[in-house]
Structure formats: structure tokens, C-alpha cells
Amino acid sequence: MALDLDIDRIRDCVGEGARDKVYPGAVWAVGDRSGNMAFGTQGVLDPDQPDEPMRHDTVFDVEGLTEILAVWSSIGSLVEAGELHLDAQLGDFWSEVRDHPLGRVSTRHLLTHTAGVPLGTDLLNRYGTDPQDMREGVLHEALRRPPGAAVEYSDRAALVLGYLAEELSGQSLDVLAATGVWQPLGMTRTRYGPLPGEATARCAPTELDDITGARLRGTAHGLPARLLGEVRGTSGVFSVLPDLAAFLRHLLQPGRDGSRPGFGTAWTKESLRPQTGELAPAGGLFWRPAPGTVPGTDDIWEHYASGAAGAWLSPKQGRWALLLTNTRYYTRDYGSLVPVRNTFRSLAFA
């Protein structure tokens, strides 16, 4: 059965963003658990090359979706394998944080952004450029407030969980995600940067490098990833629409295509339910209810990168949606992207 969508209104919504220079171009898709999918492209890859349009297989720096594609999925694999318990304090099994403030934090605290860790990464100003100094600083710094006291988004949650996944698995995060999640799902073009030359040529360019003045293309613009070798939990992953569609379909219908990644129904179900109690805003495990929706009624969950990619899921509707842009080509102020993103989501789940 085909998807019941107002395709013309979706095209107008995404196209208007390109015309208004919210982003040079965008790729979108809406699909269901049965494998039906509608998709489209708007705008151009690079305004300096106006004859080269966006394509459905354009490679994007997905920024904060790295948290879902690499960290959330890898942590879920460890949980489902019985190697990690969500409510155990980190200091009880991780010697590196024992006797430090982070030792009182649980994995669930980090996944719900209630850990009380400092806001933002700000790695360069705090710790310099040595990766080991950064790691020790992130893992040993004082908490902002007691665990469980408030919901406050911080990039550090994904950074810490990436370190944790590597500690427990004995593998680097890129290898862990690739072998445990991406390869089993057939996500052959998803990887951490920097990209090789062929993939870079098909990559949507983003901002100007502060050092070289060249436009970044195939190199992550997320500063933590660039400073820490591009393999970290906060950012650094590049992907394409077909790969991301396979990932989101798996969340709604695990194993439908015969794939067997490390996590399945139990992890997704646990993540897509309110986990923050009476604290506001409500959230699941790295997923949060879409603005203006009610978790138990509308059941539309989202995770997005500020200026690049947005992903939405609704188990109740059996539907997923994806919007990929290179907004950062124009600006680091993503306010103009918010109404486009919200309108697209409303149309995708109407």
C-alpha cells in the first residue's frame, strides 16, 4: 500500500527552504515499516556550482545524528547482550571514573540528559588539543548538578558514552558501529570522516575552515570530532539517504530484511518511551518527543543535528521520516531551519 502523503506540500516546504537560502539543498524521505518510501531532492549541492543538483545519494555530514547512528545503537547492543546495565553507576564497573564525580552517574542518566555533566563540550578552551588530556578532562571534571536533578542537553553525554562503549567492547567506536550495526544493515556508505576522495566529491559542502579558509567537504565540521581524530560520539559520521532509510526501517521492523545488527525491538521500545519522570522537557533514551506532540498520544519521536539532519519515528503510525540539509554552508545560526523542519515533520506524519 502506498504512503498517504501530500507530496506536493512536502516538496514546496523543502523547496522553499532552498529558495530562501536556509540551505543550498536538501534530501528528504518518508517511509513505513513495510518498506514503502517516498523521497525527493531540492536545491543544489554547492551554490558555487549551480548546475549540480542535490541527489538522493548525496553524502552528508550528519553531525549530531552520530549520537544515534554510532553511540545509541552501540550502547543498545551492549545492553541487549547483557554487558551493560542502564542503572548501574559508572564508578561500579569503570575504573577510569571511579572516585570521580562521573562515577555517580548511570548510563540512563547520560541517555536522558539528566547526568548533570557540564553543558557543551568546549574541549579546546578547557583541555587543549591533546586527545588524552581531553579524555581525562571530560571523564574527571566536576558535575554541574547532582544526577537526576534536571534535564539539560549536553554533547558530553554522547562523548562519555562513546568512551564507555569503547571501554566495554575493546573496540574503537567506528569499528564497533560499523561491524555491529552499519554492515549488518547494509549501510555500506556510512562511515566516520575524513572521507576518501571519491566519496568527498559526492559530499555536500559545509562551512569554511577557520584555519585554511577552504570549505569543508568530507571532513567533519564538529570541533570535538576534528580535534579528537573524527571518531567520537558527538559528531563525525557521514551517510546517505538509502543507508539512513535502512537504519530507520530497522527501528520499526527489526530483521524484516534478514539483517541482524546488535540491537533490536527491546532497545528501541525502551528508548521510545518517557524516561524523565516529572522532569521537563520529557525525553526517552537519546530520543525526544517532537515539539507540540504527546508521547502516549501522538507517539512521534525525533533526534536531529542542529544544522544538518533530522530523523523522526512513530511506532504508532509505523512511519519514519528524514530530512538532510547542508544549512551550515550559510550559517551557524539554525533558527531559520526550525520552521522548515517542523513543517516537514507535520506533513510527514499528518
What DSSP string runs through 198-209? HHHHTBPP-PBP
pLDDT digits (tens, 9 = 90+) for 48-87: 999 999 999 999 999 999 999 999 999 999 999 999 999 9
Q: How far is residue 315 from each of residues 5, 41, 75, 312, 346, measured CA to CA in Å?
A: 17, 26, 21, 10, 16
pLDDT digits (tens, 9 = 90+) for 92-140: 999 999 999 999 999 999 999 999 999 976 677 888 878 888 899 999 9
Chain mean position to CA 318: 20
* Mean pLDDT within 325-334: 92
Pure H helices in 238-297: 241-252, 265-271
- Position 78 scores a pLDDT of 97
pTM across the whole model: 0.95
- Choose between 129 and 292: higher pLDDT: 292
pLDDT digits (tens, 9 = 90+) for 232-276: 888 899 999 999 999 999 999 987 766 789 999 999 999 999 999
Residues found in the chain: 350
Q: What is the dihedral of CA 329, 330, 331, 335, to 10 degrees?
A: -110
